[in-house]
Chain A
Amino acid sequence: MTSLRREPSLMLALAIVVGLVLAFIVYPQVNVVLTPGTSGYVEFLQGGTWLRPLQNSLTVTLLSTTTAVLLGFIYAYAMVYTDMPWKPFFRIVGILPLLSPPFVVAAAYILLFGAQGIVTYHIFGQSPNIRGLYGIWGVQTIAFFPFAYQLIADVLSRSDARLEQAARNLGAGPWHVFRSVTLPLTRPGLGAAILTTAIYVLEDFGNPALIGGIYTVLPTQAYGLISGFGELSAAAAVSTILLLLALVFYFAKLRLDGGRQYVTVSGRASSMPRPPVPAVVSWAAFAACSALALLIFLVFGTLLVSALTFAFPTNMRFTTEHFEYLGQHNLSLRNTLTFGLSAAAFSAVFAVLAAFLVERGRWRGRRVLDFLLIMPAAVPGLFFGLGYVVAFNQPWLDWLDRGALITIALIFWNIPVGYQAATAGLRQIDRSIDEAATSLGASGLRMFRDVLVPMLGGSLRVGFVTTFVRAVTTLSVVIFLFTAQSTTATITIFQLVSDFNWGGATAFTVVDIGMAVIVLLIIAFFSRGRIALGMARG
């Protein structure tokens, strides 16, 4: 990309992107960061109540990120490289853990694996204490491996089979090829996966809130300060600590990346198939993925049974009365679908455009924009939404529909994943492809639209799916923003849970998840045929 001043349309696009980022990512957060005021910060920091949660947060982040990325990598490798059967099925399964509306899913884990757990106690006779660090670790690994899986799979699918064939040709065995060719080539995706996962684990509130017990991490501390004690100032200070940690992670990632070239998609097309993976590896992958699928279905199955029985597990009488709530609350379901789909569509496209401007651009300050686009991941949904209320609940903005504001919040809160995916994807595409289009007369934006976007289909999909799934399952982002007209399914679930109506809450959760699964299936069906041509594919 040449200098921007020669292409006004590109400059305009950049201005719009920067403007939106400033308005909808920076400005609301600044409001939150400023909330405590200097004295508030001093008081909070001196109080020292944040020290233990900080330590816990770092511990948990380290553990969960490692295992989630490992699991995600195995899953991605299995999907892209092996000849494992039933791949479309596993593709969906790999996204399901993201579909975790608040409360109910973690409750299912406890039901299955807790001290009186169906699996742990009734089958194996054990009574583990699932609450605490180990519970958080386990649940987060499952909950977050989809991020890593999607990001790494996207990168792996674009890797050039010829490089691997060449290595095999030179006598390297499958393991050697993997270690010295495949693995290093996934670095852009790997880096993105680690950073994204780490930041999301760091800000994860839902899982530690349900299964953490006394083990407090920063997000649960912040939430407790608001929910239990109404201490907004202290809570905002915790949110700022989280932001600073994200900044540290970001710089760590920059060091890790090293700025090397990872181009695997040059304009030189090849139809070479991948070297075959040993059958034993394929079967091992199949076994691992099946085990994971089994776990996930167990959890969802528990939900389903819970929704259809009177009071699972004590009262197993079959009933459908819990589903009556749907009638009264179908507005919240419709809203959830509307907000989710709109946010996902916009977010996916915006993320790819922003990635293009940052990754291919050569203008000063793009590292700052890069960070700003990842930053929302570090902000717990609670504070993201809070920022929007403080920033946009002004008399002169009263005409703004809350539903629209919620959608905007959902868009920008979920930008990081789509953005990371698109950035990793762009790093794999040789610039000569850009330049070829340019030399044939295409302006920057034109080239982006005609050439790059079609090649980044995978990244678009990652952005869309992740945004959608998180949008329909988030409680914390909407809790300060929703109104009676713009209420969501998660709010309804929260209300039912607070009412001790576990049956109703579960039924609603089942429907929420079911709706999302249907959307995912539709997307999966349509993207099946879209194999990017010219790239060897597993």
Chain B
Amino acid sequence: MTKRFGAVAAVDDVSFEVPRGAFATLLGPSGCGKTTTLRMIAGFYDPDIGNIVLSGKRINELPAHRRGTAMVFQDYALFPHMTVKDNVGYGLRVAGISGKERERRVEETLQFVGLGGLGGRWPNQLSGGQQQRVAVGRALVLRPEILLLDEPLSNLDAKLRVSLRWELRALQQQLRMTFVYVTHDQDEALSLSDWIAVMNAGKVEQAGTPWEIYYHPRTSFLADFVGAVNLVPGTVREVRGDEVVVAFGQRAVTVRRPAGLALDVGREVRLCVRPEALALRPPSADPEGIRLPGVVARRAFLGDLMRYWVTVDGREWIVDQPDPGAAADFDGPITVAVKPERIHVIAD
């Protein structure tokens, strides 16, 4: 799909397919077009070019209120003049479901989202987390084909965000409902999703499982956006079938060639290594794999790991050491060790 606002293409030739029952996430920085894409699915925008197909049916021409999608908003969008019960039951009311049936389903849903007994409250009497649950319940009670969520947890505090995250995932798996989730938070995306599409400037940079996105990013942007990363420039020296030899600095390393990536000798590439894939050893150690002597520039204690910035051949590498309580402290000259199979080649 393509969507233009004026001269700017907010969504530029984006194409993807979401399997039924999957928790799909659109991830990206602000302005990347993820919300626009979501709203096109919902029917609030029309794509200039492109089709939206739901369960085999093209829904471009359907008005937003008849698409079988329900949306959860970033600021909850609860109706202030209705109680929680009425908010949740609104969609049912519109669908013509009334009386006992509606009450039953509303009550059931309230229990399901953990708000049992709060049906009579007004939105302004609830906490942020509770309001978000109402918003989710309001959409779920309709049993939509797809649930669309637009950064639903952004307005909550950190701990709540994390705990609600698991609840949403649990809900989704329990109901086996298709979720399309928009966020800029890569932790959320990685932990919740079956499938992620990372967007940037209106385009999909890469789509795939969280594992793939994290360990085999296809672009530097992607590598950098999701998690911390070391990106070391290098040049292709040799191509040997499924492997390439890449020279960086004074060294060379033989790494796996990513499937589908054609590389010529002399091509400028980047070596992508995750900080947690690097190990620190004393300067005199001789570990497996590649040995990079360097000097600790600085370090930071991040609670669950100790992050080191190490200067190797004039370049700063980030190295994460897990469980600082059990590990040794390093300072001054050290050796950084990396196994070649943990190195990923990016050519962009």
Contact = CB atoms under 8 A, between A and B. Distances in A.
A455 B82 CA distance: 10
B80 A267 contact: yes
A433 B142 contact: no
Contacts, number: 122
Which range holds the interface residue count of chain A?
Answer: 35 or more
B255 to A, nearest CB: 47
Interface stretch (B108-116, B117-125, B295-303, B336-344): B117-125
Interface stretch (A80-88, A334-342, A374-382, A446-454): A446-454
A443 B93 CA distance: 12
A533 B122 contact: yes
Interface residues of B, number: 40
A2 B90 CA distance: 20
B80 A440 contact: no
Contacts of B125: 271
Contacts of B77: 266-267, 430, 432-433, 435-436
B142 to A, nearest CB: 7
A535 B155 CA distance: 18
Contacts of B64: 2, 435, 438-439
Contact of A455 (B46, B80, B94, B123): B80
Contacts of A270: 124
Given A2-B43, A269-B124, A438 B73 contact: no
A437 B81 CA distance: 13
Contacts of B135: 267, 436
Contact of B79 (A2, A6, A433, A441): A433
Interface in A239-276: 265-271
Contacts of B95: 441
B266 to A, nearest CB: 53
Contacts of B211: none
Interface in B127-154: 128, 131, 135, 138-139, 142, 148
Given A269-B123, A532-B81, A534-B122, A439 B65 contact: yes
Given A436-B71, A439-B65, A441-B91, A532 B43 contact: no
Contacts of A450: 90, 93-94
Nearest to A440: B91
Given A268-B131, A439-B42, A442-B94, A534 B65 contact: no
Given A269-B131, A435-B71, A2 B46 contact: yes
Contacts of B80: 265, 267, 269, 455, 532-535
Nearest to B45: A2
Interface in A84-100: none
Contacts of B142: 440-441
A293 to B, nearest CB: 32
Interface in A144-185: none
A3 interface: yes
Given A2-B63, A440-B138, A267 B79 contact: yes
A268 B131 CA distance: 8
Contact of A438 (B46, B65, B76, B78): B65
B65 A430 contact: no
A19 B227 CA distance: 59
A157 to B, nearest CB: 13
Contacts of A446: 65, 94
A432 B79 contact: no
B53 interface: no
A436 B70 CA distance: 8
Given A2-B43, A269-B123, A269-B126, A436 B79 contact: yes
A244 B94 CA distance: 46
Interface string A403-442: 0000000000000000000000000001011011111111
A443 B63 CA distance: 8
Nearest to B128: A268
Contacts of A534: 78, 80-81, 122-124
Nearest to A263: B75
B251 interface: no
B21 to A, nearest CB: 20
Nearest to A433: B77
B72 to A, nearest CB: 9
A270 to B, nearest CB: 6
Given A439-B69, A535-B80, 5 more contacts: A6-B61, A266-B75, A435-B42, A455-B80, A535-B124
What 10 A-B pairs come out closest when comparing CB atoms? A534-B80, A267-B77, A269-B123, A440-B91, A436-B77, A269-B124, A6-B63, A439-B71, A271-B124, A432-B77
22 contacts: A2-B46, A2-B63, A2-B64, A267-B76, A267-B77, A268-B76, A269-B76, A269-B122, A430-B75, A430-B77, A435-B42, A436-B78, A438-B44, A439-B69, A440-B70, A440-B91, A440-B138, A441-B91, A442-B94, A446-B94, A534-B80, A534-B81
Interface of B: 42-44, 46, 61-66, 69-71, 73-81, 90-91, 93-95, 122-126, 128, 131, 135, 138-139, 142, 148, 155
